[in-house]
Amino acid sequence: MKKTTFILIFLVFLAALLVWVGFMTKQANQVKASNIGEITTKWEGSGHADSESEAFTHWNEDDPAEVPAYCARCHSTSGFRDFVGADGSAASTVDAPGRVNDPINCTACHNQAVHALDQATFQSSASMAGTGMNSSCMSCHGGMGSGAAVAKTIDGLPLDEAMPDQTMMNNHYLAAASVNAGADGGDGYEYEGKTYVGKFRHAPTADTCLACHDPHSTHIRKAQNGETSLCTTCHSTVESYQDYKTVSMSKTDFDGDGTVEAIYDEIEGVKAILHDAINKYTAATGSGDAWGYYSSYPYAFIDTNKDGILSEDEATYPNMFKNFTPRSLRAAYNFMYVQKEPGAYVHNAKYVLQLMYDSIEDLSEISGVTTQGLTRP
């Protein structure tokens, strides 16, 4: 073959190769851009991205307008990066206030500090190892209170004597990881002499935060090779978010109303009984003020007419309930522990049912509301 012919063939081959490489690179970039666009769209529709929500605007009117270090870990990206040490500071602590209107964005979780996490520590000081990337979820969804903190507050005090100006203790909001961990996390108020279930093992393929939840939308993942919810893999009746509450856990009437219902409804039934028990117990102790729960802060108010139902007129800040005894404080903490984790029926139904049952039982002698007919898992 002549030298010129060889060179010509080589140049043609090289040109074809460059065209092919260019085409494949373009295709890869388009796929990458498409994936990034899809992820961005998911994130923009999530609560983590809602910079106008109360979670990220609560401190806007403060002077200075900043998220206190105590809250910044979960209510700002700057605070979370500070907590995990992604900003170069020491890990496991927040050294400075966070920025307002700073929702949880990509840089909160996509950094080397988070990728290296493999342990989650709960408010009780209990730790869970081997949690991998789920550790970042658990860092904020582990709550802000614990049964241990309640026990420390009431330590050595007569159980049925009023604690002047004692407000209700709360585990904060959406503590899904804490509830899921059960007794392994130990954040519920666990009564002495009782046993409690540990982490809820849902299913081998649905046993962690990220196995069930899309990390960007936070919604339940889609079933493999399908467009339906992952839950439909085992629960054929589940077609939408509303259907999650129709799933039954067992053939047990936990709330004693004579009907075996979906586990969500069983929990709601026991919760209503616990509310009634706390209401009646508080009316019979201390100053005689009856406790009631209402959905606006600070959640615990005086039920002035003692009818067991708080009206909007009763749920005002000056009417806040501050007459807890140690016995009612721990029961009210467990009530709030369940109330403020709306996914408790999925994350660990047995644990919250045990906590509420034991709280009702503890109040029963004075409240008159007993566990007769109820079932403890």
Question: Which pLDDT belongs to residue 15?
Answer: 59
Go through 171-181 and write b for each residue having 16 or more CB atoms within 10 A of its CB, e for each that does not.
Answer: bbbbbbbbbbb
354 and 376 Cβ atoms separated by less than 8 Å: yes
84 and 76 Cβ atoms separated by less than 8 Å: no
Neighbours of 187 (CB within 10 A): 28
Tokens 């804490």 found at: 178
Q: Is 206 helix (H, G, I), strand (E, B) or coil?
A: strand
Q: Is 291 helix (H, G, I), strand (E, B) or coil?
A: strand
pLDDT < 70 regions, the chain: 1-35
Of 43, 55, 60, residue with least CA distance to 80: 55
Which residues fall within 8 angstroms of residue 205, CB to CB, at 6 or more apart? 211, 233
Of 159, 109, 155, 154, residue with least CA distance to 136: 109
Tokens 């049925």 found at: 160
What's the token pair of residue 287?
């100053």
Distance CA 114, CA 136 (A): 7
198 burial level (CB within 10 Å; 0-12, 13-18, 19+): middle
Question: Which pLDDT belongs to residue 64?
Answer: 95
Of 73, 75, 97, 99, residue with least CA distance to 86: 73
Packing angle between helix 263-283 and helix 326-339, nearest 10 degrees? 150
Report CA dihedral (217, 222, 227, 232) to the nearest 10 degrees. Answer: -130
The dihedral region occupied by 105, where left means phi > 0, alpha psi between -120 and 50, and beta the remainder, is beta
Query: What ranges do the domains of the chain cover?
Result: 147-367
Distance CA 297, CA 279 (A): 18
Question: Which pLDDT belongs to residue 249?
Answer: 75
Tokens 């929702």 found at: 103
Distance CA 227, CA 224 (A): 8
Q: Is the peptide bond before 64 cis (omega within 30 degrees of 0)?
A: yes
Question: Which pLDDT belongs to residue 223?
Answer: 84
345 burial level (CB within 10 Å; 0-12, 13-18, 19+): buried
Question: Which pLDDT belongs to residue 239?
Answer: 79
DSSP secondary structure string, 292-313? EE-SSTT-EEE-TT-SS---TT
Measured between its terminal Cα atoms, the distance across the chain in Å is: 86
Which residues fall within 8 angstroms of residue 311, CB to CB, at 6 or more apart? none
Distance CA 59, CA 161 (A): 37
